[in-house]
Amino acid sequence: MSAREVIIVGGGVGGLCAALALRRAGLQVKVYERAEDYQTLGAGLSLWPNAMWAFSLLGLADEVAHRGARWRQTVMHRWDGKVLSRLDVNALCEELGQPTVTLLRADLQQVLLRALGPENVRMAAACTGFQVEGDEVRVEFADGQQARGDCLIGADGLRSVIRQQLRPESRVRYSGRTSWRGIVNVPTELIPEGSQFELYGQGTRFGICHLGRGPEGTWRMYWFLMARAPEGGRDEEGGHREAVLRHVRGWMAPVESLVQATRESDILRTDIHDLEPLSRWGEGPVTLLGDAAHAMVTDLAQGACQAIEDALVLAKHLREGGDLRQALRAYEARRRPRTKHVADMSRRAGSLRYLRNPVARWSRDVLMRALPHAVALQQLRSVVAHDFLA
Ligand SMILES: Cc1cc2nc3c(=O)[nH]c(=O)nc-3n(C[C@H](O)[C@H](O)[C@H](O)COP(=O)(O)OP(=O)(O)OC[C@H]3O[C@@H](n4cnc5c(N)ncnc54)[C@H](O)[C@@H]3O)c2cc1C
């Protein structure tokens, strides 16, 4: 392959991983990111063994694992504390030889940016579109600048401008749910180290996990609340915490106290969308990666993990040489079924979690208690154990 330069639009987890993997495959890469700076404001991110395996291939697994905390078991509860089931995540991790790690998204971005070299990312570069001119792609930016390369990767997220130009018919779907995410440092571990607690309420789900140690011996905790809500809903100025508390008053400890302890500025609210599966991703020297290609609902915590898989598979195809356009089509053919499977499973998981009807919830809870552990583990294995490079 004789690609002079690969242009990546979007410097999120997917774009940065793609840049790293492509550089290691011997290509020249430049990333163009719309934001002026990487936000330190945070949210947590879970990286399952499929993503950690990718990081081990990039030589970053130890550093990534060191920045976060191990996730060893999930304990699912009804809102009032009754245990519905437990999942031994560690057993699966040991079988697969990779951990599951939760960490601050900003910490992961820092690790990636440092490994890539910040000089390879142009910040404040908002792409507005592209033109294919012969063998070249010309990419245009809002400030009037342009970039030229042999290949363009649209890694610009859910509202991708690259996808909108390639596939104007693509459709972003609202899941019917919004999310609040909070980060807080607390003096004690609150839940057993290595555990993720999930609690189910009426159309709501609350999660708690560790993200490693905070300053001065504190524990850095990440929590999230998913709740049914109309699309585009907003909390009053300074009202995120109160909005969350309205959903979780009276819930099992430490839910309320954790939310109470979180600074308003450390809570994010985001509506949850996914992308209707695309029948084709790219065209000519242009393709898509990550959420731009296959945004999925968050119920399996796999969106970023799949973007990371994309990055490694893309690098494998471009490294293998031959015709650039054929290599991009081979990458897409490889990734479309896999990401559709994970997106479908995520939607299915979501369809059982936010039930409001008391009879349906009772039946779901009975099912959760009755589901054999081996079956639950097998469902998870089919997502996180995929040998995506084979
Ligand atoms: C509440 C919530 C919890 C989640 N939890 C998890 C989890 O635990 N594990 C997991 O694997 N996934 C999780 N996800 C999903 C994950 O966040 C996404 O799948 C992941 O961020 C996708 O990465 P990406 O690089 O494709 O897109 P993004 O992270 O969206 O990055 C796209 C980048 O492109 C930039 N950009 C956008 N437009 C332009 C433009 N025109 N020009 C230049 N740059 C542009 C953006 O600024 C951004 O930096 C979660 C998502 C949500 C909403």
Q: What is the pLDDT of residues 94-143, one digit of tens each?
A: 999 999 999 999 999 999 999 999 999 999 999 999 999 999 999 999 99
Lowest-pLDDT choice from 60-64, 309-313, 359-363: 359-363
**Across 174-186, average pLDDT:** 97
**Residues linked to residue 45 through DSSP beta bridges, in sequence order:** 103
Domain-embedded: residue 240 = no
**Across 302-325, average pLDDT:** 94
pLDDT > 70 in the chain, percent: 98
pLDDT tens digits, one per residue of 58-87:
999 999 999 999 999 999 999 999 999 999
**Across 45-49, average pLDDT:** 97
Q: 331: CA distance to ligand 1 center in Å?
A: 20
Domain-embedded: residue 389 = no
Residue 143: is it exposed, middle or buried by C-beta count within 10 angstroms (0-12/13-18/19+)? Answer: exposed
Q: Which atom of ligand 1 is nearest to the CA of 306?
A: 11
**Across 34-49, average pLDDT:** 87
Question: pLDDT grade, residue 1 (50/70/90)?
Answer: very low
Q: 15: CA distance to ligand 1 center in Å?
A: 9
Q: Which atom of ligand 1 is nearest to the CA of 305?
A: 11
Q: What are phi and psi of 185, to 5 degrees?
A: -95, 130
Q: 61: CA distance to ligand 1 center in Å?
A: 20
Q: 120: CA distance to ligand 1 center in Å?
A: 19
Compute and round to an integer the Cα radius of gyration of the chain: 21
Please count the helices (runs of H) and the strands (runs of E) in the chain: 13, 18
Q: What are phi and psi of 124, to 5 degrees?
A: 55, 35
Question: pLDDT grade, residue 39 (50/70/90)?
Answer: confident
pLDDT > 60? residue 354: yes
Say how far apart CA 390 and CA 225 lie, in whole Å: 37
User: Is 1 or 252 the better-scoring residue by pLDDT?
Assistant: 252
Domain-embedded: residue 12 = yes
Q: 11: CA distance to ligand 1 center in Å?
A: 9
Say how far apart CA 359 and CA 357 lie, in whole Å: 6
Cβ atoms 169, 275 nearer than 8 A: no
Cβ atoms 122, 9 nearer than 8 A: no
Question: pLDDT grade, residue 91 (50/70/90)?
Answer: very high
Say how far apart CA 362 and CA 42 lie, in whole Å: 35
pLDDT tens digits, one per residue of 195-220:
999 999 999 999 999 999 989 999 99
pLDDT > 50? residue 291: yes
Domain-embedded: residue 269 = no
pLDDT > 90? residue 152: yes
Pair of tokens at residue 64: 């990534």
Q: Which of 20, 113, 122, 156 to mutate to test the pocket of ligand 1 (most atoms within 8 A of CB)?
A: 156
Q: 164: CA distance to ligand 1 center in Å?
A: 17
Q: Which of 33, 113, 306 to mutate to test the pocket of ligand 1 (most atoms within 8 A of CB)?
A: 33
Q: Which atom of ligand 1 is nearest to the CA of 226?
A: 1
The CATH number of the domain where 99 resides is what? 3.50.50.60
Q: 146: part of which helix (H) or strand (E)?
A: strand 146-149
Residue 364: is it exposed, middle or buried by C-beta count within 10 angstroms (0-12/13-18/19+)? Answer: middle
Q: What are phi and psi of 152, to 5 degrees?
A: -125, 130
Q: Which residues line ligand 1 (CB under 6 A)?
A: 9-15, 32-35, 45-46, 125-127, 155-157, 161, 179, 181, 270, 272, 290-292, 298, 301-305, 307
Question: pLDDT grade, residue 322 (50/70/90)?
Answer: confident
Q: Which atom of ligand 1 is nearest to the CA of 295?
A: 19
pLDDT of residue 113: 97
pLDDT tens digits, one per residue of 249-286:
999 999 999 999 999 999 999 999 999 999 999 999 99
Characterize the bridge pairing of strands 121-122 and 286-288.
Answer: unpaired
pLDDT of residue 132: 97
**Across 179-206, average pLDDT:** 95
Q: Which residue's CA is the closest to the ligand 1 atom numbered 29?
A: 12
Q: 385: part of which helix (H) or strand (E)?
A: none
Say how far apart CA 157 and CA 270 lie, in whole Å: 14
What is the b/e burial string over 159-177, where b = at least 16 CB atoms within 10 angstroms of the residue's CB?
A: ebbbbebbbeebeeeebbb
Domain-embedded: residue 249 = no
User: Is 156 or 214 the better-scoring residue by pLDDT?
Assistant: 156
Question: pLDDT grade, residue 40 (50/70/90)?
Answer: low
Domain-embedded: residue 161 = yes
Q: Which atom of ligand 1 is nearest to the CA of 46?
A: 8
Say how far apart CA 356 and CA 3 lie, in whole Å: 53
Full residue range of the structural domain in which residue 377 is found: 6-172+274-384
**What is the SS3 assignment for 43?**
coil
Domain-embedded: residue 311 = yes
Q: Which atom of ligand 1 is nearest to the CA of 290?
A: 26
Q: How many residues does the chain have?
A: 390
**What is the SS3 assignment for 255?**
helix
Cβ atoms 270, 291 nearer than 8 A: no
* CA proximity to 96, closest of 387, 389, 388: 387
pLDDT > 90 in the chain, percent: 88
Q: 172: CA distance to ligand 1 center in Å?
A: 14
Number of domains in the chain: 1
* CA proximity to 274, closest of 217, 367, 209, 344: 344
Question: pLDDT grade, residue 3 (50/70/90)?
Answer: very low
How many CB atoms sit inside 10 A of residue 234's CB? 10
Pair of tokens at residue 181: 């995410």
Pair of tokens at residue 141: 């930016």
pLDDT of residue 38: 84
Domain-embedded: residue 202 = no
Q: Treating both helix axes as pointing N-terminal to C-terminal, what angle do 373-384 and 324-353 enclose, rounded to 10 degrees?
A: 150
Say how far apart CA 127 and CA 33 lie, in whole Å: 8
Q: 366: CA distance to ligand 1 center in Å?
A: 35
